[in-house]
Each structure stands twice: as C-alpha cells, then as structure tokens.
Amino acid sequence: MNIEDIKKELQQILGTKRFQHSLSTAEMAVSLSKRHGVSPEQAELAALLHDCARGYSIHEMREQIATHQVELDEVEQKEPGLWHAPLSAIMAEVRFNVKEEDILQSIRIHSTGNHGMSLLDKIIYISDYTEYHRKHLRVEDIRELAPHNLNLAVLMTINIKIAYLLEQEVLIHPRSIFARNDLLAQGVKK
C-alpha cells in the first residue's frame, strides 16, 4: 500500500481532526528526520499511522485488543488512553502491511517513550507533541529545539507530560520514567 492509499484509508477511519493531526505529525516527522539523518519515508509512514486506532471507541478498542491478542501491561490495562498506541502498531502491521519493526516500535511507544529510544522513536514522540496544530505547554520552545537537540526536546516533553499526569492524578507508565532516566543517564540536561 502506498502513502496516498494509506492517507485515503486513514481519512475514512479517522475523523477530520485526527486525520489532520496525523498529516501534521507526518509533516513534522519528515522535517525532523531530514535534520537527524533518519529515513523520511519511514518517519512519514510511522507518523501517519501512529494514531490509526484512534478512530475506535473504547468498546471497539477492547474488542480489537481481544481479537488481536494484544498484550497490555498492568498500567495499560488500567489506562484506556494508552490502548491506541499498541493497537495502532497492530493495525499498521495487519491492515496497512507494515513489516519494519522499527516503524512498528515507534508507533507502539509514541505515547510513553521508553529507555533506549531510537532516533525514529524520538522523532515520532516529538512530532506527535509538537505538530503544527498543537497548543501544548511550551510547544513552541520544543518545536524550536527539536531540530537542533532532539534528546533535550524529548526530555522536556517527557517532563511536561509527567507533570501533567501528576496533576491529573492518573497512572504514569513506567516506560516514561525509563525514557526520562535513560536520557538523564546519557547526560542530557538543559
């Protein structure tokens, strides 16, 4: 399936707002990939598909998770807001015939991050947060920083997301903590 076919199908399964988010995330990912020496084609594909399961209701996601035997860890089981990431990776593979594990991995962890993130993982993580329609806290600062210092941009984004989750009093996935600690252990600092 080529990129144009994928876009047409995504337009049908996602609402207008989510489809525009995916297109904008892909635009950001392609730009960052060129800056950081990652395949623009891989970045575009991963970014387009990172939220492809978002068109499902919680009930439909639960059914798809059971159908595809998606293994959710303890935190994911309790936080339905995290279900779309592993399910989107499954959909990318099954429905869109994506076989490259690095693309699937970047989709799978785009919400939480993880330790040992690849450049592609970081690009998809950052692009999801900073795409041009986003108005998040400090998004402009991170947009400006990401082309020059991707690791610091990821660390700042993780810190912002963790602070938000603490304020909301919801579970924080350990992968987010692992990603943060990994970057700090590498010496990433403001």
- At 110, which CATH number? 1.10.3210.10
What is the domain extent for residue 74? Answer: 3-185
Would residue 190 count as lying in a domain? no
Beta carbons within 8 Å of 128's beta carbon, 6+ residues apart: 25, 47, 50, 51, 110, 111
pLDDT of residue 190: 82
Would residue 169 count as lying in a domain? yes
- Say what the pTM is: 0.96
pLDDT of residue 149: 98
pLDDT of residue 92: 98
Would residue 164 count as lying in a domain? yes
Would residue 151 count as lying in a domain? yes
CB atoms within 10 A of CB 107: 31
pLDDT of residue 137: 81
CB atoms within 10 A of CB 60: 12
Would residue 98 count as lying in a domain? yes
Would residue 18 count as lying in a domain? yes
Residue ranges of the chain with per-residue pLDDT less than 50 = none
pLDDT of residue 1: 83
What is the tally of structural domains in the chain? 1
Beta carbons within 8 Å of 68's beta carbon, 6+ residues apart: 87, 90, 94
Helices (H), ranges, the chain: 3-13, 16-36, 40-49, 58-67, 74-78, 84-94, 101-108, 119-130, 139-145, 150-168, 174-185
pLDDT of residue 116: 98
pLDDT of residue 136: 86
Would residue 135 count as lying in a domain? yes
